[in-house]
Amino acid sequence: MIVIEKIADLQAYIKEKAAKSVGFVPTMGALHDGHISLITRCVAENDLCVASVFVNPTQFNDKADLERYPRTPEADCAMLQAAGCDVVFMPTVQEMYPEEDTRQFNFGSLETVMEGKYRPGHFNGVAQIVSKLFDAVQPHKAYFGEKDFQQVAIIRAMVEQLNYPIQIIACPIIREESGLARSSRNTLLTDEQRKKAALIAQVLTKSTTFVHSKSVSATIDWVEEQFKDDAEFRMDYYEIVDGNSLQPVQNWEDSEFIVGCIAVYCGKIRLIDNIHYKG
């Protein structure tokens, strides 16, 4: 495995390899089993597997969140090498943003709900960095985890807008033994918070049994109620949406693809998760 810091060096290396299929896994580091599942699939489906490790400042609307985001580059490289990754791209902020990126993307209603509502500017920052990485790597396939369900929808829309010849592959959520969705942010939780955070997945799983017994609104009320008795939790949102448009549904019959999406703080750490009700 080779580690590269410069875009020009990365492109020269990829060109030299002349791979028929280049797969790409963009990450912000602090890797866990969820990331490695993406790498494993990328390795299996492509001649060359490229991963990036870059904490992108333009997608953080909270500077404190950016500062405390975990960074473990040495451990990341060890995990990537063990998983069979061929190339790790680890650029500096200066390399990715030699000048300010002033591009403004428009994703319409996809970006005004859920994460877009609570993290203004977040998805514009995501689109900026992912498009820059796509330009640098020029992959045939790119792999993203379904935990960031709305992000996958945004990236698909960006690929369509910019006419990238890239196949976006969404991979299933990888969970801890407790059910908690794997996330780099989990390392910031105390042991007690980590145990409590398992409630998120437990509640979502239980809520899927209500499709034939409760209305959509009653299901939302029930989910929200489960987090009210513990001061450790503070919910940003829980929404039940059409999996394609990301717009809220009123009835279970409104769509064949329905997903419940949640964002909740456990202490100071914001966690997201989702679950499929239909489709």
DSSP result, 175-229: B-TTSPBP-GGGGGS-HHHHHHHHHHHHHHHHHGGGTTTS-HHHHHHHHHHTTSS
- As a whole number of angstroms, the distance between CA 123 and CA 113 comes to 11
Tally DSSP H helices, then E strands, for the chain. Answer: 10, 9
- As a whole number of angstroms, the distance between CA 164 and CA 139 comes to 10
258-266 and 269-278 beta bridge pairing:
antiparallel
- As a whole number of angstroms, the distance between CA 24 and CA 31 comes to 15
| Residue in this structure with the two tokens 């912000």, named with its chain if needed | 28
CB 5 within 8 A of CB 90: yes
Residues marked as catalytic: 35
CB 78 within 8 A of CB 1: no
| Residue in this structure with the two tokens 């369900």, named with its chain if needed | 149
